[in-house]
């Protein structure tokens, strides 16, 4: 069993002023929800890095919505269900695709300038989509454009208070009701408790658990870990999506090459120059990501190459310049020309399909705790997220959260004194977690070892032996006393990474089949008879939920 807190609550001497709502995270899900709530309520945004630093910023491809005939929400629904490999919550998907066009209107109201072609919003196709329905901005800078405008709108709100460079260590709850958060101001090295009535968890993903990832450095699974410690349910966490086309630069950093490039007609070729997705799926290179990645791994293993080629040499240079200016610029820095050269690419950890289990209103099973964006498991993605459904999901479910909290705040009066009294009760409670007494070695080294073992054993392809090896590694550290109580950011990140890794391994060991982004060499077939259900983890126990 995990210790309840990363840092003992008694270490937190300062209690700040009460606020109705606290948003943890500053990507599209967190910012849009905060902006909507701030129209009538005071909101705090606590974010681990600078305000714009989020996974949203790095989203190149675009945002999916059926806004133009002959496309229709039912087509978007069917594509999402197909990509989800039998594990989507059909009601959650309907909410997503039916509200998507309205959310696009909201983004335009926020000032987002989507690319225009022939007087209309330009649409493109990505993997798994049956119609062009991907809106983009700045060519391949959609996430950056959206993040900039949302930050601008948030800063213009008098009701939003910002806490950048702020590490939230844990959620405080009393009798299964949130009462605040515990956090570390990393600039001032100050521990604080923030009392509140509602928490919106929008802290992003877990990519840093792997050696190769498209995620920023802040993506260490903090939200999943703190929600689990507080008693929330975690669902579908074994399903980790790997993006097919990631380019390694001269300096060893990774650069995502948007799926939209394949949407415009680019090919995938093996290291001998042969296209390998033909006859593997009716949409070839535009098959859902799990299918493309699985085939890439097969081809790379057979040829003993650690890459495949992305080929856009047959596409018009004029189109490439307009649609992919960032990709062209990055490749040019590395001595490559997108129009002339084959580009070496390989898969990298990209997106967590599961997360903190929520209802359609974004509420978790802790009263007052909501979750949206990548950290949430709404049921809309199933076993494999459809390309460009992530940004729109954050908006749709963030909107649902805003509506639900707004409705509750209108009919209730916040009992600030009672919340503070409950915080005092939590602080007075002794911490009884039993931890191992073992001297810890260098934290940077453990993080590196963790990323290696997760990549090798809990990545794209898995089996019992590798999962057990990974489990044994995790068990050696996850309840180690020397890790807990440290104020350093890396120590707390490592605790969260180990916690999330353990949850992933638990679910991956249990699911004895291959489905979507969970592929097991020792159970290579999909097993609908036994495994068309969700795996849920809560308070150290495993539960199952049949697909609705």
The residues annotated with a catalytic role in the active site are 289
User: What is the 3-state secondary structure of 257-278?
Assistant: CCCHHHHCCCEEECCCCCECCC
Strands 533-538 and 461-462 turn out to be: unpaired
Phi-psi region of 55 (alpha: psi -120 to 50; beta: other; left: phi over 0): alpha
- Tokens 């300038």 belong to 113
CA angle 331, 337, 340 (to 5 degrees): 150
Per-residue exposure over 145-164, b if at least 16 CB sit within 10 Å of its own CB, e if not = bbbbbbbebbeeeebbbbbb
Query: What angle, rounded to 10 degrees, do the helices at 390-411 and 142-155 form?
Result: 20
CA 380 to chain centroid, in Å, comes to 13
**Which SS3 state, helix, strand or coil, does residue 102 take?**
helix
Nearest to 290, CA basis, from 82, 468, 548, 94 = 82
Q: What whole-number distance in Å separates Cα of residue 21 and Cα of residue 464?
A: 43
Token output for 528? 């609908």
Q: What whole-number distance in Å separates Cα of residue 356 and Cα of residue 378?
A: 8
Q: What whole-number distance in Å separates Cα of residue 338 and Cα of residue 298?
A: 25
Contact indicator for 407, 218 with CB cutoff of 8 Å:
no
DSSP label at residue 57: G
E strands, 202-328, in order = 234-235, 240-248, 254-256, 267-269, 308-311
Sign of CA pseudo-dihedral 483, 488, 494, 500: positive
């Amino acid at each position: 069993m995990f210790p309840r807190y990363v840092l003992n609550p008694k270490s937190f001497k300062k209690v700040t002023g009460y606020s109705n709502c606290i948003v943890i995270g500053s990507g599209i899900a967190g910012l849009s929800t905060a902006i909507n709530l701030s129209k009538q309520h005071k909101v705090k945004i606590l974010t681990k890095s600078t305000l714009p630093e989020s996974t949203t910023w790095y989203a190149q491809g675009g945002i999916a919505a059926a806004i133009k005939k002959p496309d229709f929400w039912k087509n978007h629904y069917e594509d999402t269900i197909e990509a989800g490999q039998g594990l989507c919550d059909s009601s959650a998907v309907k909410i997503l695709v039916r509200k998507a066009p309205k959310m696009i209107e909201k983004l335009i109201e926020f000032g987002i300038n989507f690319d225009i072609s022939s007087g209309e919003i330009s649409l493109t196709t990505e993997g798994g989509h049956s119609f062009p329905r991907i809106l983009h901005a700045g060519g391949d800078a959609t996430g950056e454009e959206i993040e900039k405008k949302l930050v601008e709108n948030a800063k213009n709100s008098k009701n939003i208070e910002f806490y950048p460079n702020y590490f939230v260590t844990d959620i405080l709850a009393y009798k299964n009701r949130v009462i605040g958060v515990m956090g570390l101001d990393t600039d001032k090295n100050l521990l604080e408790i923030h009392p509140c009535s509602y928490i919106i968890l929008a802290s992003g993903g877990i990519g840093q658990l792997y050696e190769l990832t498209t995620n920023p450095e802040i993506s260490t699974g903090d939200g999943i870990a703190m929600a689990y410690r507080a008693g929330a349910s975690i669902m579908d966490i074994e399903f980790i999506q790997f993006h097919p086309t990631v380019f390694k630069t001269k300096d060893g950093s990774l650069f995502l090459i948007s799926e939209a490039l394949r949407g415009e007609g680019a090919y995938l070729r093996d290291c001998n120059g042969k296209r390998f997705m033909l006859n593997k799926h009716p949409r070839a290179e535009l098959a859902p990501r799990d299918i493309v990645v699985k085939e890439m791994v097969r081809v790379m293993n057979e040829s003993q190459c650690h890459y495949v080629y992305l080929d856009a040499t047959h596409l018009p240079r004029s189109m490439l310049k307009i649609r992919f200016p960032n990709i062209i610029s990055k490749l040019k820095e590395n001595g490559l020309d997108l129009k002339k050269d084959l580009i070496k690419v390989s898969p990298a950890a990209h997106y967590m399909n599961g997360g903190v289990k929520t209802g359609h209103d974004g509420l978790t099973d802790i009263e007052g705790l909501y979750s949206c964006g990548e950290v949430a498991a709404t049921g809309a993605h199933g076993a494999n997220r459809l390309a460009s459904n992530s940004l729109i999901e954050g908006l749709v479910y963030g909107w649902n959260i805003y509506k639900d909290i707004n409705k509750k705040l209108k009919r209730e009066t916040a009992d600030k004194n009672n919340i503070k009294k409950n915080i005092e009760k939590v602080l007075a409670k002794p911490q009884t977690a039993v931890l191992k007494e073992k001297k810890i070695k260098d934290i940077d080294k453990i993080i590196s070892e963790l990323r290696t073992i997760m990549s090798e054993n809990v990545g794209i392809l898995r089996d019992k032996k590798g999962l057990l090896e990974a489990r044994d590694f995790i068990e050696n550290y996850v309840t180690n006393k020397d890790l807990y109580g440290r104020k350093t950011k890396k120590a707390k990140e490592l605790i969260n990474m180990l916690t999330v890794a353990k949850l992933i391994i638990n679910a991956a060991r249990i699911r004895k089949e291959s489905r979507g982004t969970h592929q097991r060499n020792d159970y290579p077939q999909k097993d609908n008879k036994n495994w068309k259900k969700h795996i849920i983890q809560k308070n150290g126990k495993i539960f199952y939920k049949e697909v609705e």
